[in-house]
């Protein structure tokens, strides 16, 4: 695996639900041509396939809980391998969600060069998700599940940021700003990678 993805940079995109990870990833793809892999999107594709495994995943996601580590890591790994020949860089969006996920990723795939920490206030994230829920059709964009996802973010995912801060690869991005202003900060972090 390590040689297959060659020199492609790995960027973890971490932040709370509704912080703006997907929004910024789209803009990075447009400007830098990186491969965007959202763990949530990969899981929702499995749910949409109607498979037995998809049904189990749907039940977990609807409760705002984390799906088993191996399931999500295997999906990401397969998607990375599928793009290995063309990818300049990988945006791993929504992963790791707990420190253990980061450790396993590094064992099986490789080390990240950068962690973009997309930071917004809890109250902002709730507002954005309630609004997104009006049109997203996502089973987890409702008040009850949003609250659980936020709690889990603070408990399980924030420690991921501290873990990688010790390694000096975290760039904190103020995602309270308008989308294009957020992206201006993101661009600086990506440009420094080259
Ligand atoms: N900087 C921003 N300012 C205002 N709204 C934003 C901003 N970034 C994202 N949003 C909106 O917030 C919602 C959640 O963004 P999204 O990118 O889906 O977040 P995530 O992938 O982190 O859950 C979307 O409806 C998006 O349009
Ligand atoms: N790395 C991961 N580990 C376990 N479960 C994950 C996961 N990434 C996503 N999921 C599951 C649980 C999440 O509540 C759900 C939606 O994830 P998401 O689309 O990344 O949400 P958001 O972009 O709003 O943060 O999918
Ligand atoms: Mg997202």
Condensed to tens digits (0 to 9), the pLDDT of residues 50-88 reads 999 999 999 999 999 999 999 999 999 999 999 998 888
The whole-number pLDDT of residue 194 equals: 77
Using the mean position of ligand 1's atoms as its centre, give its distance from the Cα of residue 154 in Å.
18
Coil/strand/helix, residue 21: helix
The whole-number pLDDT of residue 146 equals: 98
Averaged pLDDT of the chain: 96
CA distance 154 to 158: 5
Contact 95 CB / ligand 2 (< 6 Å): yes
The whole-number pLDDT of residue 165 equals: 98
The whole-number pLDDT of residue 156 equals: 98
Protein residue whose Cα sits closest to atom 26 of ligand 2: 40
CA distance 113 to 111: 7
Strands 114-119 and 9-15: parallel
The whole-number pLDDT of residue 139 equals: 94
* Residue 3 binned pLDDT confidence (cut-offs 50, 70, 90): low
* Residue 1 binned pLDDT confidence (cut-offs 50, 70, 90): low
Using the mean position of ligand 2's atoms as its centre, give its distance from the Cα of residue 39 in Å.
6
Identify whether the C-beta of residue 9 lies closer than 8 Å to the C-beta of residue 90: yes
Please give all residues whose beta carbon lies within 6 A of any atom in ligand 1, as ranges: 15, 17-23, 128, 131-132, 175, 177-179, 182
What is the distance, to the nearest Å, from the Cα of residue 76 to the centroid of all Cα atoms in its chain?
A: 11
Ligand nearest to the CA of 179: 1
Strands 114-119 and 170-174: parallel
The whole-number pLDDT of residue 128 equals: 98
Strands 89-93 and 114-119: unpaired
Mean local confidence (pLDDT), 131-159: 97
The whole-number pLDDT of residue 4 equals: 65
Tell me which DSSP letter residue 14 carries.
E
Strands (E), the chain: 9-15, 35-38, 89-93, 114-119, 170-174
Angle, alpha carbons 30-112-190 (nearest 5°): 35
The whole-number pLDDT of residue 191 equals: 97
Look at the pTM and tell me if it is higher than 0.90.
Answer: yes
Nearest to 72 by CA among 96, 56, 51, 50: 96
Mean local confidence (pLDDT), 96-117: 97
The protein residues having their C-beta less than 5 angstroms from ligand 3 (an ion) are 21-22
The whole-number pLDDT of residue 6 equals: 66
């Amino acid at each position: 695996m390590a040689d297959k993805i060659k020199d492609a940079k790995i960027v973890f995109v971490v932040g709370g639900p509704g912080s703006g990870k997907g929004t910024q990833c789209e803009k990075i793809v447009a400007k830098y041509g990186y491969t965007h892999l959202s763990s949530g999107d990969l899981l929702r594709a499995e749910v949409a396939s109607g498979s037995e495994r998809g049904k189990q995943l749907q039940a977990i996601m609807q409760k705002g809980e984390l799906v088993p580590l191996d399931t999500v890591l295997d999906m990401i790994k397969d998607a990375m391998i599928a793009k290995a020949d063309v990818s300049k860089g990988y945006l791993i969006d929504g992963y790791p969600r707990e420190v253990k996920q980061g450790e396993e990723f590094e064992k099986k795939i490789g080390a990240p060069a950068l962690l973009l920490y997309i930071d917004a206030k809890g109250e902002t994230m709730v507002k954005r998700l309630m609004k997104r829920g009006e049109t997203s059709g996502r089973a987890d964009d409702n008040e009850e599940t949003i609250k659980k996802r936020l709690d889990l973010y603070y408990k399980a995912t924030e420690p991921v940021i501290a873990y990688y801060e010790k390694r000096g690869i975290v760039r904190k991005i103020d995602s309270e700003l308008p989308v294009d202003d957020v992206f201006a900060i993101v661009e600086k972090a990506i440009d420094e990678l080259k």
